[in-house]
Structure 1
Amino acid sequence: MRTIDWVTDASGHGGDAGWIELIDQTALPGELRVLRIATVAELVAAIRSLAVRGAPALGVAGAFGVALAARQFAADPAGLAAAVHAIETARPTAVNLASGARRAAALLPRGPHAVLREAYAVRDEEIASSEAMAVRGAELVSELCGPRPRLLTHCNTGGLCTVTIGTALGVVGELHRRGALAGVIASETRPLLQGARLTAWELARWGVEFRVAVDSAGPFLMARGEVDAVILGADRICANGDVVNKIGTFAHALGARRAGLPFLVVAPESTVDPGTPGGSAVEIEDRGADEVTALSDAVNPAFDVTPHDLVTAIVTDRRVIRLDRGEKP
């Protein structure tokens, strides 16, 4: 099933008038719950609560959100502008949310029908992108690691973070289908356990052999020879190749460099942001302390920046960028 889509009736068929349906990722793995989103306020709440998350899925959410806004505020230009801004800024770090919303919003002068057509295009491009990344990434992993590698991944990069297949986890799935994967270590991804909850749920559904490890164990497992490569996604890739991704990514990159392992980033071309020169220019979302502890104050950055010189390669739906050879996004 699709992580997010536009729906007009119980059969799930798309159309010009309707609502957004998305998998509530906060309920997994205990319950597969689908949310019906009929207003911009509901969508913004779903984005902020991480009911929908992952850069590509957020891009689709942004585009469909503007389609909702075009109908909800058809007779209220000021309300429409405020709604589009609220969608764009619901989470600040991932570039896809704002770019998806702006892409759909550019069609607002042509009316709601044109906006929804563009949102469908964003969705369909993300589906095609996942398919292309899975194949291109699997070929690169096989080239760098040989047959049946053992991979470590971080956060969730499967169909839940896109629409269907995924980014880095899509590569894992493709290797599994080819019989070219020995197994996966999924980092828990604290504090909200997207790896232990979401990645583990997807890997189990695919029948992939995996183990869950606490985040801090990753570099040690690499040093001990239990990992052949690190593969993960990105919320933003800067012009110089710096990678902004879930907190903990930087530590895994350092561990991979120390162990001499490939560190591979898989993300759609839409995540490459040529307008951001480097990671220091990115606003890092800081989430509430209650996600970490109820006993004291806490610092809770949701993302970190991995310097480009620690990245072996970036795989998008269009190309492989070998940063280890001096190539740039």
Structure 2
Amino acid sequence: MTTTIPIVQSVRLTADGSGVVILDQTLLPGQKKYETLSTPEAVFDAIIHLKVRGAPAIGIAAAYGVYLGLNQSTYAHIDEARVAFQRVKAYLGSSRPTAVNLFWALERMEKRFERVEDVRLVAEALRDEAEQIRLEDERVCEAIGVHALELLEPGDGILTHCNAGTIATAKYGTALAPIYLGEEQGYNFKVFADETRPLLQGARLTAWELSEAGVDVTLICDSMASIVMSEGKIQAVLVGCDRVAANGDTANKIGTSAVAILAKHYGIPFYVCAPTSTIDLACETGADIEIEERAAEEITSKWYEEPMAPAGVKTYNPAFDVTSGDLITAIVTENGVVRGDYFRELKTVVGER
């Protein structure tokens, strides 16, 4: 027996093309509020302040932001439009440095721009390309879910870290896609969601969207992952990612590498669910991935009525860490499952031989 799971759409274009509608993820789980962004500046602000987050969703929002920037003015010549395009592309590209989907989407928008000869058709072409990026992400996420589901068994306990769900993508999510597809097919997974300090994407977002969909989800503190593994409650770990290096090293939300180390210790498979747009073959190893460092207030005061750290204490707040490829059981893409020789297999899965 199959059932249909309700899916939340986190980013889309308005019907008239004048703005981008986003689900403000900073307000979850207390408030489900949609906001319409009408300028590239508003899109930039939404990305940098995590109203839009998740590598695929960031790329989709940035693509729409480029379209908005070129749609709001008229240009006498294609060269004039090109200058405007490069300006908005560089601006949006400076919002988040670690997620490769952001730059992949912007490069794709540039390639579409360069195919346009009539300046009057620029905005229409960019709108079409941004829409295609969103629709393709829906198909990619579903395909990742299908491949990942083949690695799981009904009733499995699954640990997740951060949020790689439907609100981080166009639909279904990456790491949560097999959970949604499994739920529709009666797999009855038992999900354990790390709270994911310091921004609590697991507590605020993963626990919320899985609960909304009727999935059996239990929230745990990050430091509890070891005990639930030792108790035999976890049969697989599923995480998303923001960048995969050519050797299989993977950047994901801070704390992911610790989960991978624990999974290795307890003999639990650790799966990274990644669209091929997240694979960066130009990046040789995880050491080459730029890690974003965020404001001190996220760990000293953001979630508290009063600061919970001494005034003036030094802080270190990297948003991501890198999980070594030798800790990853497999990388699941829309084109199939990659194991072992990542240098060779990742080239194959993205179509570069």
Query: Scaled by the length of structure 1, what TM-score is found?
Result: 0.92
Match of 1:167 among 166, 171, 174: 174
What secondary structure is seen at the aligned counterpart in 2 of 1:107? helix
Instruction: Find the counterpart in structure 1 of residue 131 from structure 2.
Output: 120
Do 2:254 and 2:320's aligned partners in 1 also have CA atoms closer than 8 Å? yes
Letter of the aligned partner of 1:315 in structure 2?
Answer: V
In the TM superposition, residue 272 of structure 1 has moved relative to its aligned partner by: 1.0
Instruction: Find the counterpart in structure 1 of residue 195 from structure 2.
Output: 188
1-side partners of 2:343 and 2:74: how far apart? 49
Do 2:174 and 2:240's aligned partners in 1 also have CA atoms closer than 8 Å? yes
CA RMSD between the two structures: 1.7
1:250 aligns with 2:261: no
1:203-242 equivalent positions in 2, closer than 5 A: 203-242=210-249
Letter of the aligned partner of 2:134 in structure 1?
Answer: R
Letter of the aligned partner of 1:129 in structure 2?
Answer: V
Query: Scaled by the length of structure 2, what TM-score is found?
Result: 0.86
1-side partners of 2:225 and 2:342: how far apart? 25
1:307 aligns with 2:318: no
Do 2:239 and 2:272's aligned partners in 1 also have CA atoms closer than 8 Å? yes
2-side partners of 1:279 and 1:320: how far apart? 20
Do 1:268 and 1:317's aligned partners in 2 also have CA atoms closer than 8 Å? yes
1-side partners of 2:288 and 2:336: how far apart? 25
In the TM superposition, residue 326 of structure 1 has moved relative to its aligned partner by: 8.8
2-side partners of 1:157 and 1:122: how far apart? 18
In the TM superposition, residue 241 of structure 1 has moved relative to its aligned partner by: 0.5
Instruction: Find the counterpart in structure 1 of residue 146 from structure 2.
Output: 135
What secondary structure is seen at the aligned counterpart in 2 of 1:119? helix
CA distance 1:253–1:50, change in 2 (3 Å) = same
In the TM superposition, residue 74 of structure 1 has moved relative to its aligned partner by: 4.2
- Which protein has the larger Cα radius of gyration, Structure 1 or Structure 2? 2
What secondary structure is seen at the aligned counterpart in 2 of 1:63? helix
Instruction: Find the counterpart in structure 2 of residue 13 from structure 1.
Output: none
Unaligned 5+ runs, structure 1? 10-16
In the TM superposition, residue 18 of structure 1 has moved relative to its aligned partner by: 1.6
1-side partners of 2:44 and 2:237: how far apart? 32
State the Cα deviation string for residues 197-254 of structure 1 (Å, max 9, x = none): 1001111111111111111111232123221111110111111111110001000000
Instruction: Find the counterpart in structure 2 of residue 14 from structure 1.
Output: none
1:22-101 equivalent positions in 2, closer than 5 A: 22-75=22-75, 77=81, 78-101=83-106
Letter of the aligned partner of 1:89 in structure 2?
Answer: S
In the TM superposition, residue 311 of structure 1 has moved relative to its aligned partner by: 0.1
What secondary structure is seen at the aligned counterpart in 1 of 2:155? coil
2-side partners of 1:67 and 1:326: how far apart? 35
Give the length in aligned residue pairs.
318
Letter of the aligned partner of 2:319 in structure 1?
Answer: A
Letter of the aligned partner of 2:146 in structure 1?
Answer: V
1:194-205 equivalent positions in 2, closer than 5 A: 194-205=201-212
1:289 aligns with 2:300: no
1-side partners of 2:267 and 2:334: how far apart? 26
In the TM superposition, residue 113 of structure 1 has moved relative to its aligned partner by: 1.0
Instruction: Find the counterpart in structure 2 of residue 106 from structure 1.
Output: 111
In the TM superposition, residue 325 of structure 1 has moved relative to its aligned partner by: 9.2
2-side partners of 1:293 and 1:51: how far apart? 21
Do 1:220 and 1:255's aligned partners in 2 also have CA atoms closer than 8 Å? no
Instruction: Find the counterpart in structure 2 of residue 323 from structure 1.
Output: 340
In the TM superposition, residue 194 of structure 1 has moved relative to its aligned partner by: 0.5
Do 1:73 and 1:79's aligned partners in 2 also have CA atoms closer than 8 Å? no
What secondary structure is seen at the aligned counterpart in 1 of 2:321? strand
1-side partners of 2:344 and 2:231: how far apart? 30
Do 1:219 and 1:251's aligned partners in 2 also have CA atoms closer than 8 Å? no
What secondary structure is seen at the aligned counterpart in 2 of 1:140? coil
2-side partners of 1:324 and 1:114: how far apart? 39
Letter of the aligned partner of 1:206 in structure 2?
Answer: A
2-side partners of 1:262 and 1:22: how far apart? 34
CA distance 1:165–1:182, change in 2 (3 Å) = closer
